[in-house]
Amino acid sequence: MTHFRFLPFLLLSVLSACGSDPPIIRAPDGGGASGSGGGGLGGSVSGCTAIGCPTGIDVRFDPPITVPGAYSFVVVIDGMGVAHCGASLPLTGVQRGCSSPEYIVMLSGSALPPDQHSLPGMHLTVTTGTSVTIMVQRSGVEVANTTFSPNFMSSYPNGQRCDISPCITAAAVVPTH
């Protein structure tokens, strides 16, 4: 029973730690951390996390593109041609990419056998526009052609007092055939 004589001191130590101030989180440079398009810390803020967020539009192809071939993608926002992208299945070490770094074709399964490679969608790092058209062709044959109106939403994944600016996101599903 003598090993329980320290229990009151242990409980007192734990309870006193619960009432202490929250930790101050700082970026490695001593200032606040920031993420692209929001989700960062604005200086040294007590009790904030540093969750980032992918600002822009997440586009999911339904079903994901899996048929082997050379694909071309055209993204049009508010009637203006914005980006041309290219990708091939099966995935190889070299993909054509997009004419603008703000547009990304998602590649999936590169470590898997070629018959499991896919193009599941795109990410567009735009936060404006009322009409988005995505056209996809495989060797000149239409695979998808969809126009949608993004429903942009603002969020503060670290809390409004912690984030410098909001994360502005939207999501869309583009049917493929």
Amino acid sitting at position 15: L
Confidence of residue 136 (pLDDT cuts 50, 70, 90): very high
| CATH architecture label of 56-153+168-175 | Sandwich (2.60)
50-107: pLDDT as tens digits: 888 889 999 999 999 999 999 999 999 999 877 899 999 999 887 878 999 999 999 9
Question: For residues 123 and 31, what is the distance between their CA atoms, to the nearest angstrom?
Answer: 30
Both tokens of 143, joined, read 């695979």
> Three-state DSSP class for 8?
helix
Lookup: tokens for 142:
């239409």
Residue 164: per-residue pLDDT: 86
Percent of the chain with pLDDT over 90: 57
- Name the residue with tokens 């239409």: 142
Distance CA 95, CA 135 (A): 18
Instruction: State whether residue 12 is helix, strand or coil.
Output: helix
**What residue spans define the domains of the chain?**
56-153+168-175
Beta bridge partners of 132: 77, 148
**What's residue 46's pLDDT?**
65
Task: Report the chain's terminal Cα–Cα distance, integer Å.
Answer: 74
pLDDT of residue 58: 96
Read off the pLDDT of residues 8-61 as tens digits, 9 standing for 90 and up.
333 333 333 334 333 333 333 333 333 444 444 444 456 788 888 889 999 999
